[in-house]
Amino acid sequence: MFHATIVPCVRKRSKPASVTVNRHEVKFQEVRLYLVERKMGASRRGFLTQLARSKGFIVDDILSDDITHVVSEDSRASSLWEWLKGCGLKSLSKIQVLHISWFTDSMRAGRPAAVENRHLIQDTLPASPESSTLAPVAAISQYACQRRTSTDNKNKIFTEIIQSGHSFQVERILSSERYQTLKLFTSVFGVGPKTAERWYHMGLRSFSDVLAEPGIQLNRMQQSGFLHYGDISRAVTKAEAQALGNVIDEAVHMITSDCIVALTGGFRRGKEIGHDVDYIVTTSEVGKEECVLLHVINCFKKQGIVLYCDYQPSTFHISKLPCQKYDAMDYFPKCFLILRLEASQVDGGLNCAEGDNRGWRAVRLDLVSPPMDRYAFALLGWTGSTQFDRDLRRFARMEKRMILDNHTLYDKTKGEFLAASTEEDIFAHLGLEYIEPWQRNA
Ligand code: DCT
Ligand code: MG
């Protein structure tokens, strides 16, 4: 909430621009700014006001219906909008509510900058209790969790940027030797940005450079990454993901009928291809999930289909919650695998390189086993997309004072965990309209 002393009460201005404005030549009659003092502070507000006026902008000290642009340094949309709505303006919908970045862009340009999406501070408050929490159709919410993004309209905004002439700098970076080399190295399973950077600084530029360098000791993961590079850098199809589901089903049903095998990741979001396959494997008996996962891995090993296996036991403990680490891996037992998938198991055959008649291919598979009371959170997190998850967490933190991760949802205001047995429950706790998995392709 905004403090009463810094929030000027709204009065209909009887006179046009203030006296101070008249000391400067007004160049932009059609633009009238109001700078929100909260977060900005009185002295910075005074300085920015003078700066803008010296460049020919009209800046009013009082918020009124004459204002065209409200500029705020506080990006917490909900408290800003709560205050704006309480100001009794007649035509708030006509006012652009903008982040300070629009102001600095305008000062730099010496004229009002064109309003871009990134400048907007969207109204995230519901207009009335029963109304939709999705952003109005015309405005695009800054949060991916308030947008419905199917697989066919991914990256539309970025593509627009590219087409509208800002691509020059982007293209220069993308075509640089450093970028291309890092991209090549990080495409190997087990090679992260740090290792890629180290190899680049050693003067290495190709896989043969890396493999011929005596000073490099590849770990087990990287060895498998190079060994199966051709297969695991080729896309996995939906049919192959489903075939892996059957393989997991068979293994899991050998020990218990009380089990859940659920496809997550990109394929649950309706993608036709992916870089790997992600499944949740668990049981409704809390505490038994780790056994189920170990059993599945053992089954795979007995069948001779494990090409690589990195099992990570549970590090889950209630005292670690809520997890404050942003973007951290979750604590559930999980396993990163490379499996051998037979052509005969896949509807329509394998996605193989031309001329490849081995009759099998290597595929990356991730398995995670959350205890059943955490299932909804794990399913939501592992379904992604990564960007959707990030925005959902950011929305929870910034707009609701809640902490969301793959284990739980914690309400900081109430000081309590909010239980959920379905994804719908989680969206409801956050006051968001439910977004279907295939609409989470942000
Ligand atoms: N995820 C997570 N915690 C992490 C990393 C990822 O919860 N530390 C989630 C986000 C998406 C999901 O797991 C699956 O990850 P990926 O397989 O990397 O993403 P994807 O959307 O399935 O992409 P692809 O289709 O290329 O596999
Ligand atoms: Mg995936």
Q: Could you tell me if 429 and 423 are in contact, meaning their C-beta atoms sit under 8 angstroms apart?
A: no
pLDDT of residue 1: 39
Q: Does 233 sit in the ligand 1 pocket, CB within 6 Å?
A: no
- Whole-angstrom distance, CA of residue 442 vs CA of residue 382: 14
- Residue 336 pLDDT > 80, yes or no? yes
Question: Which is more confident, 86 or 338?
Answer: 338
Give the nearest ligand 1 atom to 406 CA: 7
- Whole-angstrom distance, CA of residue 226 vs CA of residue 15: 74
Question: Which is more confident, 354 or 431?
Answer: 431
Q: Could you tell me if 107 and 51 are in contact, meaning their C-beta atoms sit under 8 angstroms apart?
A: yes
pLDDT tens profile 249-271: 999 988 888 899 999 999 999 99
Task: Note if 152 is an active site residue.
Answer: no
pLDDT of residue 328: 67
By the CB criterion, residues less than 5 angstroms from ion ligand 2 are 265-266, 274, 276, 278
- Whole-angstrom distance, CA of residue 391 vs CA of residue 136: 18
* % of residues, the chain, pLDDT over 90: 63
- Residue 157 pLDDT > 60, yes or no? no
The segment with the largest mean pLDDT, out of 26-30, 49-53, 112-116, 232-236, is 232-236
- Over range 342-352, report the average pLDDT: 96
Q: What average pLDDT is seen over the chain?
A: 87
- Whole-angstrom distance, CA of residue 70 vs CA of residue 185: 46
**Catalytic-role residue among 366, 373, 411, 425:** 366
Task: Note if 310 is an active site residue.
Answer: no
Distance (Å) from CA 264 to ligand 1 centroid: 9
- pLDDT grade for 90, boundaries at 50, 70 and 90: confident
- Residue 120 pLDDT > 50, yes or no? yes
**Catalytic-role residue among 231, 276, 389, 391:** 276
Q: Does 237 sit in the ligand 1 pocket, CB within 6 Å?
A: no
Q: Could you tell me if 439 and 419 are in contact, meaning their C-beta atoms sit under 8 angstroms apart?
A: no
Sheet with 32-35, strands from edge to edge, namely 58-60, 32-35, 69-72, 96-99
- Residue 5 pLDDT > 50, yes or no? no
pLDDT tens profile 272-294: 999 999 999 999 999 999 999 99
pLDDT of residue 156: 54
Task: Note if 278 is an active site residue.
Answer: yes
Torsion 49-52-53-57 (CA) sign:
negative
In order of their start, the domains of the chain are 32-140 (3.40.50.10190), 176-227 (1.10.150.20), 236-373 (3.30.460.10), 381-439 (3.30.210.10)
- Over range 321-345, report the average pLDDT: 87
- Whole-angstrom distance, CA of residue 12 vs CA of residue 2: 21
Sheet with 334-342, strands from edge to edge, namely 259-263, 277-283, 360-368, 334-342, 306-312
127-131, 325-329, 364-368: range with lowest mean pLDDT: 127-131
Ligand 1 pocket, mutate which of 155, 186, 267, 278 (most atoms under 8 A from CB)? 278
- pLDDT grade for 38, boundaries at 50, 70 and 90: confident
